[in-house]
A and B are shown apart, each in its own frame.
Chain A
């Protein structure tokens, strides 16, 4: 049972463009939604996270948009750069100690 559905599976964006990755969740008890960035041969790195009491969070070029009623959240990468090329995972957790549930990942390629 996949509790977090992520799309698209892969994404190619021109340098300077906007990368958008979407996730949908089922469990309304989730209360923390992080995004992780993973480069080949490395572990996932926490990128940005949001709680459901806000609709948007921005850190530099990275923005999370959150729609509680639709049970969806998305990552926007503004001014995408070749160095952003990596696999991105959305995740969700209930802070009452359920484990992190990850999406299947999106492989982003930013081309010059």
Chain B
């Protein structure tokens, strides 16, 4: 069975640009969460979506937005990129709304120059 997949693997953007990251959850999982992992730190929660509705939002500015599609895949958008947005962006899926037993994808490495 395929795990959580994310695209692209790596991305380089310049300050002020916009970026869209994509995630496909494990088959049958209806919840997708997004995390930001800065080098040397643990992942920080950005969003959770379940059945296309936002169920939770972390302490991130409005430049960050996301959505979930009918097939449960998800996109994370970040506008007006800052150097500090450089990080590994992780997508995790789970079967239910509960955030127990989340399974992470390999991440998208975003570098902002």
Contact = CB atoms under 8 A, between A and B. Distances in A.
Bound together: yes
Given A32-B100, A93-B99, A97-B99, A43 B90 contact: yes
Nearest to B104: A43
Contacts of B41: 104-105
Contact of B43 (A41, A42, A102): A102
B61 to A, nearest CB: 17
Q: How large is the interface on A (under 10, 10 to 19, 20 to 34, 35 or more residues)?
A: 20 to 34
Interface residues of B, number: 26
Given A104-B41, A105-B41, A99 B56 contact: yes
A98 interface: yes
B99 A104 contact: no
Contacts of A34: 100-101
A54 interface: no
Interface string A90-111: 0101010111111111000000
A33 to B, nearest CB: 10
**Which 9 residue pairs across A and B have the least CB separation, nearest first?**
A102-B42, A99-B45, A43-B104, A32-B100, A44-B104, A43-B106, A43-B107, A89-B42, A93-B99
Interface of B: 4, 33, 35, 40-45, 48, 55-56, 58, 90, 92, 97-107
Interface of A: 6, 32, 34, 36, 41-46, 49, 89, 91, 93, 95, 97-105
